Amino acid sequence: MARRGAGAVTRASDPARREQSDSHDRRSRPSAGVDHDQWIEEPRQAPRPASTTARRAPRAQPRLPESVGRELVRAVGAKEAPAAERRLLDASRALEHDRVRDAIRIVRPLVKVAPDVAVVREVAGMASYRLGNWTVAAEHLEAFSRLSGSTDLHPVLADCYRAVKRYRRTNEVWDDLRQASPSAEVVTEGRIVASGALADQGRIAEAISLLERGPVKKRRTPADHQLRLWYALADLYERAGDSVRARELFARVADVDPQLADTAERLRSLG
């Protein structure tokens, strides 16, 4: 199945990625509401996810793609669709600016009235993930994948299952991701999560083997996802007692981004 629908608010200008082919019968739903919630400034919270997987938030644009607008019309009706669109953009913008609890509060009414709109589930899923509500996040992200046909958020979905120790499901999501063969970044993030799940179970050698099949080779300008893989692999090498290879990889990461996680500290501790 072609990947569709991932990051509707993120990449509004890309119609190929915005195609929403699933058609849903229009149903009578409660009003999405026309009021706009006031954002509440709160201390920035950063619950530690179960892996180093990317924590992307959909980037808000001035308006949604037409395909998403049509989905909202089918979900809530033409009269309420403009208010629903504004609410969805507000929720996405709150998430982008780390107002995660605001994002949840704003998007929650849309989940009730438009549960079959993929982008609604994407925003709700990512916000729940960043709050550490793993089970709720997994429910939304499963729906996002089903509705959009996309595996772009599979690393995050797998990480949710890893966090609640549903390792079989983590592996199933990883298998789906590998077979779909999306971008190198998405596959690498999924690989990191799958490896972490193996390590959680004490299967360190298997975890190392899985990461070593990723983009380990040194490059002049490594991408962010490659740096994260190097860090994860260095951590596993250290846990396995291979301080030489651990030091080498931590040093690679430090040469590019010494602020990544605790790279500098880990490198100092290895001498």
- DSSP per residue over 76-130, as a string? H-TTTHHHHHHHHHHHHHHHHTT-HHHHHHHHHHHHHH-TT-HHHHHHHHHHHHH
Q: What percent of the chain has pLDDT over 70?
A: 77
Mean pLDDT of the chain: 82
Q: Is residue 193 within 8 Å of 207, Cβ to Cβ?
A: no
Of 253 and 20, the one with more pLDDT: 253
pLDDT at residue 22 above 60?
no
Q: Is residue 266 within 8 Å of 250, Cβ to Cβ?
A: yes
pLDDT in tens, 72-89: 999 999 999 999 999 999
- Number of residues that make up the chain: 271
pLDDT at residue 107 above 90?
yes
Residue 218 confidence (pLDDT): 87
pLDDT at residue 35 above 90?
no
Residue 51 confidence (pLDDT): 52
pLDDT in tens, 39-75: 333 333 333 445 545 444 444 455 788 899 999 999 9
Residue 52 confidence (pLDDT): 46
Of 227 and 33, the one with more pLDDT: 227
**Average pLDDT value for residue range 16-37:** 32
**Average pLDDT value for residue range 108-121:** 97
Model confidence, pTM: 0.79
Which of 21-30, 163-172, 183-192 has the weakest average pLDDT? 21-30
Q: Is residue 183 within 8 Å of 190, Cβ to Cβ?
A: no
**Average pLDDT value for residue range 12-23:** 28
Please state, in angstroms and as integers, the Cα–Cα distance from residue 224 to each residue in 18, 46, 227, 238, 260, following that order.
25, 20, 5, 21, 10
